[in-house]
Chain A
Amino acid sequence: MIPLVYAELKKLAAAHLRREGRERPLETTALVHEAFLRLAGGRHPSYENRAHFYGIASRLMRQVLVDLARARMSEKRGALQQVELAEIPNLGRQPDESLLTMNDALGRLARTDPLKVQLIEMRYFGGMTAEESATVLSMSVHVVRRELRLAQAWLHKEMAG
Chain B
Amino acid sequence: MRVEVETLFHELADLSPEGRTQYFVEHNVDEDTRREVEALLAFDSGASSFLLRDVSIAASRALGDIILQQMIGKTISHYRIEEKLGEGGMGTVYRARDLNLNRSVAVKFISSELGDAEHRRRFQLEAESASSLNHPNILAVYEAGSVDGQQYLVTEFIDGFTLREWVRRQKPSVRQIVDVCAGIADGLACAHQSGILHRDIKPENILVSKQGYAKLVDFGLAKLLETEAETGPADTVARRTRAGEFLGTTAYMSPEQASGRTTDARSDVFSFGVVLYEILAGQRPFTGDSNVQILHAIINDCPPPLSKLRPETPYDLRVIVEKATEKDPSDRYQSMREMVVDLKRLQRIRPADQALPLREKTASRPWRLYAVAAVVLSIAFFATIWYLDRAERTRSSRDSQTSNSLSWKPLFPRTESSWFSNPTTRESLMPRSARSEAVHS
Contacts and interface: CB of A to CB of B under 8 A. Distances in A.
A85 B217 CA distance: 12
Contacts of B58: 65, 69, 95-96, 98-99
B247 A98 contact: no
B245 A89 contact: yes
Contacts of B85: 85-86
B1 A154 contact: yes
Nearest to A75: B65
B377 interface: no
Interface string A97-131: 01100100000000011000000000111000000
A27 B60 CA distance: 9
B63 A149 contact: no
Interface in B14-53: 39-44, 47-48, 51-53
Interface stretch (B109-117, B184-192, B406-414): B109-117
Contacts of B207: 85
Given A65-B55, A86-B204, A89-B248, A24 B48 contact: no
Interface string B279-292: 00000000000000
Interface stretch (B5-13, B343-351, B355-363): B5-13
A123 B55 CA distance: 11
Interface size class of B (residues with CB under 8 A): 35 or more
A22 B111 CA distance: 7
Given A17-B60, A28-B59, A150-B9, A68 B65 contact: yes
Interface string A12-45: 0110111111111111100000000000000000
B43 A85 contact: no
Given A86-B88, A99-B58, A21 B113 contact: yes
Given A23-B244, A26-B63, A86 B93 contact: yes
A25 B242 CA distance: 10
Contact of A157 (B43, B53, B112, B164): B43
Contacts of B341: none
Nearest to B210: A83
Contacts of A123: 48
A interface secondary structure, majority:
helix
Interface hub of A83, A89, A91, A92 (most chain B Cβ within 10 A): A83
A13 B68 CA distance: 13
B352 interface: no
B64 interface: yes
A157 B39 CA distance: 7
Contacts of B44: 149, 152-153
Contacts of B243: 23
Nearest to B36: A157
Contacts of A146: 10
B55 A21 contact: no
Nearest to B116: A21
Contacts of B204: 86-87
Contacts of B261: none
Nearest to B69: A14
A23 B242 contact: yes
B70 interface: yes
A22 B62 contact: no
A125 B43 contact: no
Interface of A: 10, 13-14, 16-28, 64-65, 68-69, 71-72, 83-89, 91-92, 94-96, 98-99, 102, 112-113, 123-125, 146, 149-150, 152-157, 159-160
20 contacts: A14-B63, A14-B70, A17-B64, A22-B60, A22-B61, A22-B92, A65-B62, A72-B62, A84-B86, A85-B165, A95-B53, A95-B54, A95-B55, A96-B58, A99-B58, A102-B51, A102-B55, A113-B1, A152-B47, A154-B1
Interface of B: 1, 6, 9-10, 13, 39-44, 47-48, 51-67, 70, 85-88, 92-93, 111-114, 150, 161-162, 164-165, 204, 207, 242-248
